[in-house]
Amino acid sequence: MTNNNTAKIHDLRFPFTRLLLLHFTFSFLLVSCDTTEPRNNGVLTLTPLDASCTEVWIKVEANANLVGTELQLFRDNQPTGSYTLTGTDTTFYENNLTPSTDYTYKAEANGTISNSISVNTMETTSQNFSFESFEFGDGYSSSYFNDVWVFDENNIWAVGYISPSQTVDGVYVSNPNIIRWNGETWKLEQLSGTSSGIYGVWALDTNHIFFANGQMIEYKDHVYHEFAVSGDWQQGQGIHKLWGSGADNIWGVGPRGTIVHFNGNEWKKIEFDTDFDFTGITGDKTTGVSYSIANKPSITKIFQLNEDDTVQEIFNGDDYTWKFRFRNAVFLKGKLYLPTTFILTLVPGDENSLTKLEFVKSSYGVNSISGQEINEIYFFGPNGFFMHYNGVRFRYFPATTTTWISGGGHAGGGSAAWVNMTNNKAIITLIRR
């Protein structure tokens, strides 16, 4: 995608009040209005959609006869903005609110008064963490972790390659690739892998897990099944990272334009430009749409992967004065959170929405991100760098080493884990409150 104009970046490091109406265009039926009916008859209706710690989204529905009139919105009986209604279905957005607070909203247009609704902003989360690290490997042959999946503090799976081969409960495991935490100890899984290891992991639930090792390994009901995705595979291609919205919509991406998709019946390889390496993937579980980060030496782009197997470019880092480079992302409440030397947000499909949340106070930057809620986002970087966002505040945990190579992290069930490697050993750190 080419763009002769430099795109804009919004900076949210300083507070300000911003109200935004997102308008949806669709056809509507002209509905007659009986002026003898009382005003709160559904002509103007507010519905709460979502809230973060400092933001709210409210749906505004109006009959056709109100289109073109001025809408006045009230928060706690105080005016908070006036707008011209350009459609019968509108989303109202407000930020810079107070966490864990109940707000009351109503609206008025052309003498018609809406219903009154209550919206509660999310509370912030604790940032008092403890850390416990474990090392694996003999220190002679290279051992490393590439990825980790956290179900909860008592069920954590780390993947990569651990040397040497070992016997586990009477079963010889050649080239161990998976190790599991049960709340008390780590134990190798009885799966013989390869010295190339496993690159990525994604789970539907505790009994159904997928692993990317260039091709695919499926763990279901305590049985491992290794299989290859059919298609025209080029040298250097392979499945490295996974994401899915459910059992009938799972995506895998990797180097040299690797994209694969499972629709519930079969896996399919999707052809793509081999000049790009896909390094991360996330998505919207509600819509099933996935977003993947693609890099080549001079360009970073984001592609939208649709359930009909089409691929659409939605972001080009070279459209900005600062040539953004990032490796992965997480999708939360309609936005992509993008870690680099800045923490950025982007509403997919709207490049003008790119917003700078934070300048990362580390010379190493951030190369991995994980979160399931807007008030619980974890950021991981090289050399032991860790940062947490609780919905309002970024807290930094200074790097404790200069030798760790970060493999990324994952948060789930109120806990998080983070994998690294150093001196031929694989390292995993458990992050607890």
- pLDDT, residue 20, reads 40
The class that CATH gives domain 10-120 is mainly beta
Pairing of strands 10-11, 350-359: parallel
- pLDDT, residue 26, reads 32
Alpha carbon distance 120, 393 (integer Å): 19
Contact 33, 43 (CB under 8 A): yes
- pLDDT, residue 400, reads 65
Alpha carbon distance 338, 342 (integer Å): 8
List where CATH 2.60.40.10 sits in the chain.
10-120
- 3-state SS of 155-173 is EEEEEEECCCCEEECCEEE
Task: Name the strand (E) or helix (H) holding 278.
Answer: strand 277-283
Flag whether the pTM goes above 0.85: yes
Alpha carbon distance 318, 303 (integer Å): 14
- pLDDT, residue 19, reads 38
- pLDDT, residue 241, reads 98
- Structure-token pair, residue 63: 């009959």
Alpha carbon distance 411, 202 (integer Å): 12
Alpha carbon distance 162, 360 (integer Å): 32
- pLDDT, residue 36, reads 42
Residues of the chain with pLDDT under 70: 1-42, 321, 399-402
CATH classification number, 130-432, choose in 1.10.150.20, 3.40.640.10, 2.130.10.10, 3.40.50.300: 2.130.10.10
Nearest to 362 by CA among 377, 344, 378, 342: 342
Alpha carbon distance 75, 325 (integer Å): 40
Q: What is the residue-wise DSSP string for 197-266?
A: ---EEEEEETTEEEEESBSEEEEETTEEEEE---S-PPTT--B-EEEEEETTEEEEEETTTEEEEE-SS-
At 197-252, the pLDDT tens digits run 999 999 999 999 999 999 999 999 999 999 999 999 999 999 999 999 999 999 99
List where CATH 2.130.10.10 sits in the chain.
130-432
Amino acid at 205: D
Beta bridge partners of 202: 210
- pLDDT, residue 11, reads 53
